[in-house]
Structure formats: structure tokens, C-alpha cells
Amino acid sequence: MSKPLIQLIDIRKKFQSGKITYEVLKGINLEVYMGDFLAIMGPSGGGKSTLLNILGLLDRPDSGLYLFEGREVNTFSEKELSRLRNQKIGFIFQAFHLIPWATALENTLLPALYGGEITKEKIQRAHELLEKLGLGDKKNHKPAELSGGQQQRVAIARALINNPTLLLADEPTGNLDSQSSEEVIKIFENLNKEGLTIIMVTHEREIAQRAKKIKFLKDGKFIED
């Protein structure tokens, strides 16, 4: 078997609130392979977003080992982490997090800007992604002029602009009606068929069942299946 894209060994994370310490992740072990489509379910407050933020290199664990493509990212500097994140990981959030004053095309290009310069190829790719996601006639629209489902599709285009290895989605259909949710999960299925590795947090069982694997996070650990 090939090496995992991601390997987590005994990942732990706690938060301090006044004198009280909350242990949110109590020893997470996980292997994710190229081409996987994993859904993570579990009760609210169970640490799903905390885990996704660690996976996405937005937060660091207190202890444990995180290997990304075999590299020990625990030892990376902030600068190295942000470069790896920008090149390899796309993010999708429940609340879209689009920039309100920027058009769909500009929002899509934002991670390309952070990654260096906006090249002709990136602009071409942004156009193609928006067209592929059914937003060909919305490129110059701002988020307020788009439906929730359309905004989330812009967020997907933005997540894909740098051609990531891994797509992370935190409750991607949480703010959407059922038709828009279906559109988004269908897009995920197609991207996964094209080879994209996806890790998605959701509390909706019908959405989770569209993934290839489901894991349940409860009391800071994965429930063994």
C-alpha cells in the first residue's frame, strides 16, 4: 500500500477558559490516503472544527505527530506552514467567507494572490473553474448578488484555484437549502472522482453518506467502527 497523504498519531489539543481546561482532542489517530473522501461526524462541540483546523495547518496540536506527505509539519515555522497550506490545501467553510466587495472572479483569485502573483494562467483557471461550477454568467457579481448555493460554489472555485492536493470542508452545506446542498455534494463527488482527496465535517447523515468513509468524533476521540 502507498504511503498516506496524512498521518495523525495521538493528536491532543486543549483550550483554557479562565481556570477551566477543556480537553477537546484526546488522542486522535488518522490515516488519509490520496483519493480518499472522508466525512467526519459527531456532536456539536465535539472538536470537529478544531481537528479540521489542525489538519489544515491553521492551528497546532499541543502534542502528537502530524505527517503531511511524510513530512513532520509540527516542526515547520509559520512561514513554512502558510506556504504548504497555500500550495496544497483548499478550504471551504459553512459561512462561505467571501470578500463582500470583491467579484466572484476576484474572490476566486484571492489565494493565487496570497501565493505570489496573479498570472495569466491563474486568471484563465479562475474563468474555467467558475464556468465548470455553473457560474459562467456570475463572474462579475459580488457575493450579495448571489444565492447561498452560488456563493458556496464561488468558495469552491477559490479553494481549487491553486490546484490543491487536499480539500477540507467544515459543514459546507450547513447554511444551504436542500437543492443547493445537493449541488455542493455532487460537486464534491465529481472532484473526488477526478482524484481530489476530501475531508468534510458534517452533522447531516445524508451528506456524510455521500463520502467514501465516515468517522465519528465523540468526547475527543474517534469512535472505533
Ligand X SMILES: Nc1ncnc2c1ncn2[C@@H]1O[C@H](COP(=O)(O)OP(=O)(O)O)[C@@H](O)[C@H]1O
Applying CB under 6 A, the residues found at the interface with ligand X are 15, 17, 22, 24, 42, 44-50
Give whichever of 53 and 74 is closer to ligand X, judged by the CB atom: 53
Residue among 48 and 158 whose Cβ is closer to Mg ion:
48
Scan residues 20-49 and list those touching Mg ion (CB under 5 A). Answer: 48-49
**Minimum Å distance from CB 49 to Mg ion?**
3
Nearer to Mg ion, 49 or 181 (CB): 49
Work out what residue 164 binds among ligand X, Mg ion, none; the CB cut-off runs from 5 to 8 Å by kind.
Answer: none
Residue 152: how many other CB atoms lie within 10 Å: 29
Partner from Mg ion, ligand X, none binding residue 45, C-beta < 5-8 Å depending on class = ligand X
The listed partner (ligand X, Mg ion, none) that binds 46, CB under 5 to 8 Å by sort, is: ligand X
Residue 220 binds which of Mg ion, ligand X, none (CB < 5-8 A, kind-dependent) = none
Give per-residue burial for 10-37: e unless 16+ CB within 10 Å, then b. ebebeeeeeeeeeebbeebebebeeebb
Contact partner, 114, from ligand X, Mg ion, none, Cβ < 5-8 Å per class: none
How many Å apart are CA 6 and CA 95, to the nearest integer?
26
Question: What residues between 48 and 87 interact with Mg ion by CB under 5 A?
Answer: 48-49
Supply the minimum distance, in Å, between the C-beta of residue 1 and Mg ion: 31
Closest CB 197 distance from ligand X, rounded Å = 21
As a whole number of angstroms, the distance between CA 60 and CA 54 comes to 6
| Burial group, residue 79, by CB count within 10 angstroms (0-12, 13-18, 19+) | exposed
Instruction: Give the three cell numbers for residue 18.
Output: 479562565
Instruction: State which residue, 186 or 218, has the beta carbon closest to ligand X.
Output: 218
Of all residues in the shown chain, the one whose CB is closest to Mg ion is 49
Name which of 24 and 105 has its Cβ closer to ligand X. 24
Phi/psi for 138 (5° steps) reads -120, 10
Q: Which is nearer to Mg ion, 112 or 217 (CB)?
A: 217
- List residues binding Mg ion (CB under 5 A): 48-49
